[in-house]
Amino acid sequence: TKYDEPHRLQYHFSPPKGWMNDPNGMVYYQGEYHLFYQHYPDKNVWGPMHWGHAISKNLTHWKNLPIGLYPDSLGYIFSGSAVVDWKNTSGFGKNNKPPLIAMFTYHNPVGERAGTIDFQTQGIAYSNDNGRTWTKYAQNPVIKNPGIRDFRDPKVSWDEQHQQWLVTVAAQDHAEIWTSKNLKDWQRASSFGKEWGNHDGVWECPDFFQLSTPEGKKWVLIININPGAPNGGSGTQYFLGDFDGKNFILDESTKPYIQNNQGLWMDYGRDNYAGVTWSDVPQKDGRRILIGWMSNWQYAQKVPTEAWRSAATLPRVLSLQKTTQGYRLISEPVKELKDLRVANKSYVLPQAKTLSSESWTPKLGFKPTLSELEIEFEKPRSGKVSLVFSNTKGEKYSIGYDSQSNQFFSDRSQAGDHSFSKEFFEKIDIAPRFTENNTVKLHLFVDVASAELFADNGKTVMTDIFFPSENFNQFSIQSTEAGVKVKTLKIWALKKAW
């Protein structure tokens, strides 16, 4: 694959051909990060789902492998997860090597067409050769449908404290936690969420894991929801709490923010969906790394790419930090991305600079088409600071901070074609700020057709895609208020990863 088609991202994962949606089966084993994904290899729209497969040693360079799982008589292979069964609890290990176990949803199109509601069940498969080939369990499904139409996206994990396997499953308007000793026999332990969080859409793709805080570990429950996101369409909400081996117990301090259909949101952009985290990242590394699908069900099947459709977000490290509202989920780009910086193509602002109300174009000496940027500026009194990426066709993408509303914004209204879908641009995306710090800090990654903003060290995140008719080759900064002080600015050209 040459990966040189118009709009093809150059340092993000995208499938060599055909359709992709959710990332699946992310597991780390023997030096390899596995990434499977919802895949229809034959067309550039959604269809009978397979698990496409790629691996990486460093989370930046991906190698495509043959398809991991094909649909069969029980159905399409919908989203799911994978783990290393270190103690061989499943008995599928061979030659003293632990098996990798994948758990996924079987979506039976025959049952769906017949108008039944029990056509989604959970199955497993195992691999004894580092994920290269998979054998489906002969007695699938391992979890039958309990009478819930949307019952899917199992995320398996080992619960060290209670010495059991957990699987978190999305069940239409709530999440269910099931437990097992051997990954084959499962019991339902509890349900959560009917009365909490946002319910404007179907709950999908959950994840459930612990993160450290100075006050001890907390459990994080991720719930993807479609529609219902703050700026429209598909989005990712989360809940914080505790776990007693059966029940998820909500953190009291978060309750005011997740009642009356409100949610806590991981990313305020339009294009980070179905994200879940890697299993089995070694303890000495200790990171909780998430990757999402960089699109939105409102328009994913219509975006103007031909040979392939959709990509994954950059991998992000999740953590918990105290904000003005209490603990919140923080996302930061993985440090491995620094290896993509081109050695002699970077720009560093030599000394603090005061902006006028005219647009300022720093002399980069390189094109910002594939770039990473870090800027710190003093919070304007009431004005707006925009980072503007533009091309010779008069198209531009602007992203920045508006002091008046105390919000970040991402504006793709003029960033190229959006005639393919009326939902693709309806209004400028906005996101709240979660700190009162007088310095605004933006960390931004721009690829050919995407922007990922990590503001205030990952307290506010926005991921958006766009389709300019020519790559963005110009960068400038605009301020509506004269006198705003830029304290630091660094820009790096990034390398292609393919």
Catalytic positions, please? Answer: 22
| Residue 38 binds ligand FRU (CB under 6 A) | yes
Kindly state whether residue 205 participates in binding ligand FRU, applying the rule CB under 6 A: yes
What is the token pair recorded at 452?
Answer: 């990922």
Closest CB to ligand FRU among 204 and 280?
204
Q: Does 237 sit near ligand FRU (CB under 6 A)?
A: no
Give the nearer residue to ligand FRU in terms of CB position, either 178 or 454. Answer: 178
Size of site (CB under 6 A) for ligand FRU: 12
CA 498/CA 338 separation, integer angstroms: 16
For residue 54, the minimal CB distance to ligand FRU (Å) is: 17
For position 175 contacting ligand FRU by CB under 6 A, the verdict is: no
CA dist 442 and 431 (Å) reads 13
Burial of 210 (0-12, 13-18, 19+ CB in 10 A): middle
Task: Note the Cα 440 to chain centre separation in Å.
Answer: 24
Q: How far is the CB of 423 from ligand FRU (least distance, A)?
A: 16
Q: Is 372 in the site for ligand FRU (CB under 6 A)?
A: no
Residue number with CB closer to ligand FRU (40 or 158)? 40
Residues with Cβ within 8 Å of residue 207, at least 6 apart in sequence: 155, 168, 220, 221, 222, 275, 276, 277, 290
Confirm or reject binding of residue 79 to ligand FRU (CB under 6 A).
Answer: yes
312 forms part of the interface with ligand FRU (CB under 6 A): no
Burial classification of residue 20, based on how many CB atoms lie within 10 Å of its CB (0-12 exposed, 13-18 middle, 19 or more buried):
buried
- Write the DSSP assignment of 330-357 as a string of letters: EEEE-GGGGGGEEEEEEEE-SS-EE--S
- Residue from 35, 49, 290, 375 in contact with ligand FRU (CB under 6 A): 49
Positive or negative torsion for Cα 265, 271, 275, 278: negative
> What character string, x for contact with ligand FRU (CB under 6 A) and - otherwise, covers 84-123?
---------------------x------------------
User: Contact at 8 Å (CB) between 239 and 221?
Assistant: yes
In this complex, which beta carbon is closest to ligand FRU, that of residue 153 or of residue 207? 153
Closest distance to ligand FRU from the beta carbon of 310 (Å): 10
153 forms part of the interface with ligand FRU (CB under 6 A): yes
The CB-of-273 to ligand FRU minimum distance in angstroms stands at 6
Dihedral sign of CA atoms 259, 257, 406, 373 in order: negative
Question: Based on CB atoms, which residue is closest to ligand FRU, 235 or 383?
Answer: 235
- Phi/psi of residue 253, nearest 5 degrees: -65, -20
CB of 205 or CB of 497, closer to ligand FRU: 205
| Nearest to 325, CA basis, from 442, 200, 432, 218 | 432
Does 21 engage in binding with ligand FRU (CB under 6 A)? yes
**What's the closest the beta carbon of residue 180 comes to ligand FRU, in angstroms?**
20
| Two tokens, residue 37 | 């994904």
Interface residue list for ligand FRU (CB under 6 A): 21-22, 38, 49, 78-79, 105, 152-153, 204-205, 274
